[in-house]
Protein backbone atom coordinates (compact mmCIF):
# COMPACT_ATOMS: atom_id res chain seq x y z
CA UNK A 1 0.00 0.00 0.00
CA UNK A 2 1.41 3.34 -1.05
CA UNK A 3 0.41 5.84 1.63
CA UNK A 4 1.15 8.76 -0.69
CA UNK A 5 -1.61 7.51 -2.98
CA UNK A 6 -4.28 7.77 -0.28
CA UNK A 7 -6.86 10.54 -0.43
CA UNK A 8 -10.13 11.14 1.38
CA UNK A 9 -13.47 12.78 0.58
CA UNK A 10 -16.72 13.60 2.38
CA UNK A 11 -15.08 14.64 5.63
CA UNK A 12 -12.65 11.68 5.46
CA UNK A 13 -15.50 9.17 5.41
CA UNK A 14 -14.52 8.02 1.93
CA UNK A 15 -10.96 6.89 1.25
CA UNK A 16 -9.23 5.80 -1.96
CA UNK A 17 -6.31 3.37 -1.89
CA UNK A 18 -4.39 1.14 -4.28
CA UNK A 19 -3.66 -2.31 -3.00
CA UNK A 20 -4.78 -5.82 -2.19
CA UNK A 21 -8.18 -5.74 -0.50
CA UNK A 22 -7.44 -8.97 1.38
CA UNK A 23 -4.81 -7.12 3.42
CA UNK A 24 -7.00 -4.28 4.61
CA UNK A 25 -7.75 -3.99 8.33
CA UNK A 26 -11.41 -3.05 8.02
CA UNK A 27 -14.54 -4.61 9.56
CA UNK A 28 -15.89 -5.79 6.22
CA UNK A 29 -14.60 -6.31 2.73
CA UNK A 30 -16.83 -6.70 -0.29
CA UNK A 31 -16.18 -9.50 -2.76
CA UNK A 32 -16.89 -9.26 -6.49
CA UNK A 33 -18.35 -12.75 -6.57
CA UNK A 34 -20.19 -14.76 -9.20
CA UNK A 35 -23.70 -16.17 -8.80
CA UNK A 36 -22.47 -19.52 -7.47
CA UNK A 37 -20.72 -17.77 -4.54
CA UNK A 38 -18.24 -20.64 -4.72
CA UNK A 39 -15.16 -18.68 -5.71
CA UNK A 40 -13.64 -17.68 -9.04
CA UNK A 41 -10.84 -15.62 -10.49
CA UNK A 42 -9.73 -12.07 -9.81
CA UNK A 43 -10.49 -10.59 -6.42
CA UNK A 44 -12.82 -13.50 -5.60
CA UNK A 45 -9.95 -15.97 -5.91
CA UNK A 46 -7.67 -13.74 -3.86
CA UNK A 47 -10.27 -13.46 -1.08
CA UNK A 48 -10.84 -17.20 -0.94
CA UNK A 49 -7.09 -17.90 -0.88
CA UNK A 50 -6.54 -15.44 1.94
CA UNK A 51 -9.61 -16.43 3.96
CA UNK A 52 -8.89 -20.16 3.78
CA UNK A 53 -11.12 -23.16 3.00
CA UNK A 54 -13.53 -22.30 5.81
CA UNK A 55 -14.84 -19.46 3.66
CA UNK A 56 -15.76 -21.83 0.83
CA UNK A 57 -17.42 -24.16 3.32
CA UNK A 58 -19.56 -21.31 4.60
CA UNK A 59 -20.32 -20.11 1.06
CA UNK A 60 -21.65 -23.59 0.17
CA UNK A 61 -24.44 -23.04 2.70
CA UNK A 62 -25.67 -19.84 1.01
CA UNK A 63 -27.26 -21.34 -2.10
CA UNK A 64 -25.79 -18.79 -4.49
CA UNK A 65 -27.11 -15.30 -5.16
CA UNK A 66 -28.76 -13.36 -7.96
CA UNK A 67 -27.10 -10.54 -9.86
CA UNK A 68 -27.28 -7.37 -7.78
CA UNK A 69 -27.70 -9.38 -4.58
CA UNK A 70 -25.21 -9.44 -1.68
CA UNK A 71 -24.76 -12.18 0.95
CA UNK A 72 -22.65 -12.08 4.08
CA UNK A 73 -20.14 -14.52 5.56
CA UNK A 74 -17.45 -14.34 8.16
CA UNK A 75 -13.93 -13.32 7.21
CA UNK A 76 -12.25 -16.44 8.61
CA UNK A 77 -8.46 -15.97 8.18
CA UNK A 78 -8.81 -12.43 6.79
CA UNK A 79 -8.18 -9.35 8.92
CA UNK A 80 -11.80 -8.38 8.08
CA UNK A 81 -14.57 -9.83 10.27
CA UNK A 82 -17.13 -9.96 7.46
CA UNK A 83 -17.11 -10.63 3.73
CA UNK A 84 -20.07 -9.30 1.76
CA UNK A 85 -20.31 -11.28 -1.48
CA UNK A 86 -21.80 -9.08 -4.20
CA UNK A 87 -22.76 -10.49 -7.59
CA UNK A 88 -22.06 -7.74 -10.09
CA UNK A 89 -23.55 -7.68 -13.58
CA UNK A 90 -21.70 -9.03 -16.60
CA UNK A 91 -21.36 -6.16 -19.10
CA UNK A 92 -23.62 -6.75 -22.12
CA UNK A 93 -23.42 -3.35 -23.77
CA UNK A 94 -25.19 -1.32 -21.11
CA UNK A 95 -28.85 -1.67 -22.05
CA UNK A 96 -29.56 -4.76 -19.96
CA UNK A 97 -29.96 -2.97 -16.66
CA UNK A 98 -26.27 -3.23 -15.78
CA UNK A 99 -26.12 0.23 -14.16
CA UNK A 100 -29.00 -0.52 -11.78
CA UNK A 101 -27.64 -3.96 -10.95
CA UNK A 102 -24.22 -2.54 -10.16
CA UNK A 103 -25.78 0.18 -7.99
CA UNK A 104 -27.70 -2.54 -6.15
CA UNK A 105 -24.42 -4.26 -5.19
CA UNK A 106 -23.09 -1.14 -3.48
CA UNK A 107 -26.45 -0.25 -1.91
CA UNK A 108 -27.04 -3.77 -0.56
CA UNK A 109 -23.49 -4.00 0.80
CA UNK A 110 -23.96 -0.70 2.64
CA UNK A 111 -27.34 -1.90 3.93
CA UNK A 112 -25.81 -5.13 5.28
CA UNK A 113 -22.99 -3.11 6.82
CA UNK A 114 -25.42 -0.93 8.77
CA UNK A 115 -27.45 -3.98 9.76
CA UNK A 116 -24.36 -5.61 11.25
CA UNK A 117 -22.92 -2.53 12.90
CA UNK A 118 -19.95 -2.34 10.55
CA UNK A 119 -17.85 0.79 11.05
CA UNK A 120 -15.33 0.36 8.20
CA UNK A 121 -15.88 -1.30 4.82
CA UNK A 122 -13.76 -1.71 1.68
CA UNK A 123 -14.96 -2.22 -1.88
CA UNK A 124 -13.12 -3.57 -4.92
CA UNK A 125 -14.15 -2.24 -8.32
CA UNK A 126 -17.08 -4.64 -8.81
CA UNK A 127 -17.69 -5.94 -12.36
CA UNK A 128 -14.85 -3.96 -13.99
CA UNK A 129 -12.47 -6.93 -14.25
CA UNK A 130 -13.52 -10.22 -15.82
CA UNK A 131 -17.15 -9.02 -16.08
CA UNK A 132 -16.10 -6.21 -18.46
CA UNK A 133 -18.12 -3.26 -17.08
CA UNK A 134 -16.32 -0.08 -18.27
CA UNK A 135 -14.67 1.41 -15.20
CA UNK A 136 -15.33 5.01 -16.31
CA UNK A 137 -19.04 4.22 -16.11
CA UNK A 138 -18.85 2.01 -13.00
CA UNK A 139 -16.87 4.36 -10.75
CA UNK A 140 -19.47 7.19 -10.58
CA UNK A 141 -22.19 4.61 -9.83
CA UNK A 142 -20.09 3.15 -7.01
CA UNK A 143 -19.29 6.55 -5.55
CA UNK A 144 -22.89 7.80 -5.80
CA UNK A 145 -24.35 4.80 -3.96
CA UNK A 146 -21.75 4.82 -1.22
CA UNK A 147 -22.11 8.55 -0.73
CA UNK A 148 -25.89 8.22 -0.51
CA UNK A 149 -25.58 5.48 2.12
CA UNK A 150 -23.11 7.51 4.17
CA UNK A 151 -25.49 10.47 4.16
CA UNK A 152 -28.31 8.33 5.57
CA UNK A 153 -28.24 6.95 9.13
CA UNK A 154 -25.53 4.27 9.24
CA UNK A 155 -22.89 2.79 11.52
CA UNK A 156 -20.28 3.13 8.76
CA UNK A 157 -17.82 5.97 9.25
CA UNK A 158 -15.15 4.80 6.80
CA UNK A 159 -15.74 3.47 3.27
CA UNK A 160 -12.65 2.53 1.28
CA UNK A 161 -12.45 2.13 -2.48
CA UNK A 162 -9.60 -0.31 -2.99
CA UNK A 163 -8.28 -0.15 -6.55
CA UNK A 164 -5.85 -2.70 -7.88
CA UNK A 165 -3.90 -0.43 -10.25
CA UNK A 166 -2.87 3.20 -10.57
CA UNK A 167 -4.94 3.72 -13.75
CA UNK A 168 -8.06 2.40 -11.98
CA UNK A 169 -7.29 4.68 -9.05
CA UNK A 170 -7.14 7.69 -11.37
CA UNK A 171 -10.63 6.89 -12.68
CA UNK A 172 -12.02 6.63 -9.15
CA UNK A 173 -10.29 9.83 -8.11
CA UNK A 174 -12.04 11.72 -10.92
CA UNK A 175 -15.38 10.16 -9.98
CA UNK A 176 -14.89 11.04 -6.32
CA UNK A 177 -13.98 14.64 -7.14
CA UNK A 178 -17.10 14.89 -9.32
CA UNK A 179 -19.57 13.06 -7.10
CA UNK A 180 -18.33 13.27 -3.50
CA UNK A 181 -16.93 16.80 -3.30
CA UNK A 182 -13.81 17.66 -1.28
**Which CB atom, from 155 or from 158, has the smaller least distance to ligand ADP?**
158
For position 64 contacting ligand ADP by CB under 6 A, the verdict is: no
Contact with ligand ADP (CB under 6 A): which of 39, 68, 75, 124?
124
| 35 within 8 A of 62, measured Cβ to Cβ | no
For position 161 contacting ligand ADP by CB under 6 A, the verdict is: no
For position 31 contacting ligand ADP by CB under 6 A, the verdict is: no
- C-alpha–C-alpha distance, residues 68 and 156, integer Å: 21
For position 20 contacting ligand ADP by CB under 6 A, the verdict is: yes
For position 42 contacting ligand ADP by CB under 6 A, the verdict is: yes
Considering only CA atoms, give the Rg of the chain: 15
- C-alpha–C-alpha distance, residues 25 and 60, integer Å: 25
Contact with ligand ADP (CB under 6 A): which of 5, 38, 46, 72?
46
- C-alpha–C-alpha distance, residues 41 and 91, integer Å: 17
- Apex 173 CA angle, 12 and 145, nearest 5: 70
For position 130 contacting ligand ADP by CB under 6 A, the verdict is: yes
- Residues of this chain that interact with ligand ADP (CB under 6 A) are 20-22, 32, 42-44, 46, 88, 124-131, 162, 164, 168
Amino acid sequence: MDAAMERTWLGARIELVVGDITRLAVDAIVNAANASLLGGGGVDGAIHRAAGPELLAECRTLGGARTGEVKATGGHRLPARHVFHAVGPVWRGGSGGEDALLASCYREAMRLAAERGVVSIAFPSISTGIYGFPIERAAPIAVREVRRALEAPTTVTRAVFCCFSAPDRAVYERALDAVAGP
